[in-house]
A and B are shown apart, each in its own frame.
Chain A
Amino acid sequence: MLTRAEHRRGIGLGILAFAFVSLFVGLAVLALLGFDATPSHRSLFDAYTWKVLQFTLMQANLSTLLSIALAIPVALALARRPEFPGRLWILRLMALPMGLPVLVAALGLITIWGRQGLLNGLLLNLGLAEPVSIYGLGGILLAHVFFNLPLACRLMVATLDRLPGEYWLLATGLGMKPWSIWRFIEWPALARILPGIAGLIFMLCATSFTLVLVLGGGPAATTLEVAIYQSLRFDFDPPRAIALSVMQITLTAIVLGLLSLLPSTDQTLPASGRRVQRFDGQTWSRRLWDGTVIGCATLFILLPLFSILAAGLQADLPRLVMSPAFLEAASTSAAIALSSGVVSVMIAIAIISARIAIGDQKQSGKTARMFSTVLAATSSLVLLVPPVVLGTGWFFLLRPWGDVTRMAPYLVVAINALMALPFVMRVLEPAIGEHWRRTARLTASLGIGGIAKLLRIDRPVLLRPVLLALSFAMALSLGDLGAVALFGSNDFVTLPWLLYRRLSSYRTADADGLALILGIVCLALTFIGTSGIGTDRSKHAGR
């Protein structure tokens, strides 16, 4: 249905986007692989790097296991109680950690679980001398569970809620006891999505940077990404950074390969609008258990968030906001976030246009179809080569040409844009695809094209999803510490970097205030960014 010119333009845009992404990632990887590491007179993979790899895998495994094991009872309790007071708000609360900058959440966790934290205070009052330690493996696991338990829980509740209502009627009619309901209904439903959830969480934990940077205690508790950062910024040991980067890419490649074999997990499940009725678990003991489980999970998520708010409000916010350091960091962050958001959305639109153009051809050749698949994979390339590794590659690539810090802002923009790309695609691809299916025949038959099509046909429908995607991409960039950590300097300070430095120099009042501001801005942007997804789906379902 596309004219030949539109067709060429679509494919052309796709080639451009592909060239940009693959060059940016490919050059970084080549720089890492091609770096002459021989002068160091030692094996690339020494005892230290192996230890780091072991720890990375171990903490990722444990984090995944704990997150899922703890999420299951919470999800079962929430699914069993469709009428639980504030259920919808608890489920919304569970979406918060994902939208929060990792550094901000880490600060909240320290306030609750840290040495001077609420919990240790309570334990001391109870006469228990041994405080819980937030640093080291325990802290990393705790923080990973904080982020991933709610994620797992939401996916599980959505799955259970979407089971046909007749299942619960039948189970009751047949007289199934809780154990039978678990065995014949709940477990089979969860078992189908668990591999996908576990893979996703493992991936997130294996590439976790900021949490481990803040909570990891020295060489004993370091993941690959943090070790890369340390070997570049502190030890300046390029061979080690490269060895670790190669390990990281191999690890993510293996995990991604395994993940692709698993059934995919839809992360943006809409909350089911249907009223679910459950007739099981009406005994007092079940009610008490479910209430306790839901209450504990809610407190676990709510307390750190609340502490960010409480501590932030105690800081001298007006002074902080007017300080030159803040203003400079804020304007840098805003510029970086906006640029990376725009770049990300542009790449996504180019990729989607090309895929539509290829799909539109009746006899699209084998090459074209393969290119379409490659394009889809391109948008997720950053998952294979995590931000810190990308940054490391470009660091080596640019070093011979002079001061890397001068290029830092551009690199951070590009890295952040790629980081956001998978999410932006998730928002835009269905929206643009649907719009295309609805309007393509009509616009073609009316002969509308060019600017007129853009203004009258596309803009009214697509402006909203584009802005949503932009908002989401900006939130990701604003909260990111990974790319900035490598390149941050006195001349290049973003808000997360400023916050990290304030934390390191024990200027905690400033840090609290900064965390509050950053947290609120990122949450607001994330919520704008994800608000469209649920409503859009339900609109479609209702039709």
Chain B
Amino acid sequence: MPAGNQAPQIRLDSVLLTLGDTQLRFDCSFAAGTITAISGPSGSGKSTLLNLIAGFETPDAGKVLFDDKDLTDRHPSERPVSLVFQDNNLFGHLDVFTNIGLGINPSLKLTEQDREAVSRSLAEVGLTGMERRMPASLSGGERQRVAFARALVRERPVLLMDEPFAALDPGLRFSMASMLLRLHEQTKATILIVTHDPDELKRLATNVVFIDEGEVIVQATTEEFLTRCGVPAISQFLSG
């Protein structure tokens, strides 16, 4: 997975956004090639932060920078990111192969190498030979692994994940997290993962960005973050 070397640092520079009655203001950065957890209470703006980086929201003011390159006005498809959502990552009416293949070419014009890459990626996530399966016939965990496989073939240096394991049961979350760590070892991509789960945060992330009421209130390494029990919102989060 060659993408890793150029994995960028991501920075939100005084980004302002108004959604309905809510004012959001983000000033933070995400270290290159690491896994950063984005946490905070429900409705604090975690997914919006991800949407700003992916390009689905355009800030009213401020900049979204990838390694000092200003991507604020770039269309989502022109940003070097892959996305994994909590659910519906796969088009339900298309088989696994097509779902992954669309990640390589959105018109599904695939070369022989591309087809091999799809099969390799499936092997990578432990779903060898599942190319022709339909999403409905897969378990929730398997569907998320297909989404990982698509992220792999896309070879984008940034991976944005919005609570990717929230719909899975705890045992499965653990093994999925291990898989994510292993894949990160290979790709060294910059990974941002929104999570509600303190265990997941400890297991996966080297850094934490904590959001409350539309603002970043803590930006720290995971160890440091875990000691910040003084902040009420954080202690509430950590105690589950």
Please give the residue numbers on chain A whose beta carbons come within 8 Å of chain B beta carbons, in ascending order.
Answer: 164-167, 169-177, 179-180, 184-185, 188-189, 192, 277, 279
Shortest Cβ gap from B229 to chain A (Å) = 35
Q: A166-B89, A167-B88, A277-B56 are in contact. Are A173 and B107 (CB under 8 A)?
A: no
State whether the Cβ of B132 lies closer than 8 Å to any Cβ in chain A.
Answer: no
**Chain A residues, CB < 8 A from B91:** 167, 170, 184-185, 188
Contact of B107 among A167, A177, A185, A279 (CB under 8 A): A177
Interface contact B88-A175, CB-CB below 8 Å: no
**Chain A residues, CB < 8 A from B87:** 164, 166
The contact string, 1 if C-beta is below 8 Å from chain A, for chain B 68-94, is: 000000011110011101011101011
State whether the Cβ of B54 lies closer than 8 Å to any Cβ in chain A.
Answer: yes
**Chain A residues, CB < 8 A from B108:** 180, 184
- Give CA–CA (A175, B104) in the complex, Å: 10
8 interchain pairs, CB-CB under 8 A: A172-B56, A172-B77, A174-B102, A174-B103, A184-B91, A184-B108, A185-B91, A188-B94
Contact of B83 among A165, A169, A185 (CB under 8 A): A169
**Chain B residues, CB < 8 A from A185:** 91
State whether the Cβ of B106 lies closer than 8 Å to any Cβ in chain A.
Answer: yes
Q: A166-B88, A170-B89 are in contact. Are A279 and B83 (CB under 8 A)?
A: no
**Chain A residues, CB < 8 A from B107:** 176-177, 179-180
Interface contact A174-B77, CB-CB below 8 Å: yes
- Give CA–CA (A177, B108) in the complex, Å: 11
Interface contact B94-A173, CB-CB below 8 Å: no
**Chain B residues, CB < 8 A from A179:** 107
Interface contact B106-A166, CB-CB below 8 Å: no
Shortest 8 CB-CB contacts between residues of A and residues of B: A175-B77, A164-B88, A166-B88, A176-B106, A188-B93, A172-B76, A174-B106, A175-B106
Shortest Cβ gap from A82 to chain B (Å) = 14
Shortest Cβ gap from B199 to chain A (Å) = 25
A-B contact count (CB 8 A): 61
- Give CA–CA (A173, B102) in the complex, Å: 11
Interface residues of B in 140-173 (CB under 8 A from A): none
Interface residues of B in 80-125 (CB under 8 A from A): 81-83, 85, 87-89, 91, 93-94, 98, 102-103, 106-108
Interface contact B77-A184, CB-CB below 8 Å: no
SS class, residues of chain B in contact with chain A: loop
Shortest Cβ gap from A89 to chain B (Å) = 22
Shortest Cβ gap from A195 to chain B (Å) = 15
Q: A180-B107, A279-B56 are in contact. Are A173 and B93 (CB under 8 A)?
A: no
Of all chain A residues, which has the CB nearest B92?
A: A164
- Give CA–CA (A315, B235) in the complex, Å: 75
**Chain B residues, CB < 8 A from A189:** 93
Of all chain B residues, which has the CB nearest A165?
A: B88
Interface contact A173-B88, CB-CB below 8 Å: no
Shortest Cβ gap from B54 to chain A (Å) = 7
- Give CA–CA (A488, B107) in the complex, Å: 61
**Chain B residues, CB < 8 A from A277:** 56
Shortest Cβ gap from B150 to chain A (Å) = 9
- Give CA–CA (A188, B90) in the complex, Å: 14
**Which of A173, A175, A177, A277 is the most central at the interface, judged by chain B CB atoms within 10 Å of its CB?**
A173
Shortest Cβ gap from B88 to chain A (Å) = 4
**Chain B residues, CB < 8 A from A166:** 85, 87-89
- Give CA–CA (A277, B55) in the complex, Å: 13
Of all chain B residues, which has the CB nearest A282?
A: B75
**Chain B residues, CB < 8 A from A167:** 88, 91
**Chain A residues, CB < 8 A from B81:** 173
- Give CA–CA (A528, B82) in the complex, Å: 48
- Give CA–CA (A189, B87) in the complex, Å: 18
Given contacts A166-B85, A166-B88, 15 further A-B contacts (CB under 8 A): A165-B88, A167-B91, A171-B106, A172-B56, A172-B77, A173-B76, A174-B77, A175-B78, A176-B102, A176-B106, A179-B107, A180-B107, A180-B108, A184-B98, A279-B75
Of all chain A residues, which has the CB nearest B56?
A: A169
Shortest Cβ gap from A164 to chain B (Å) = 4
Shortest Cβ gap from B140 to chain A (Å) = 14
Interface contact A169-B85, CB-CB below 8 Å: yes
**Chain B residues, CB < 8 A from A172:** 56, 75-77
**Chain B residues, CB < 8 A from A171:** 106
- Give CA–CA (A184, B108) in the complex, Å: 10
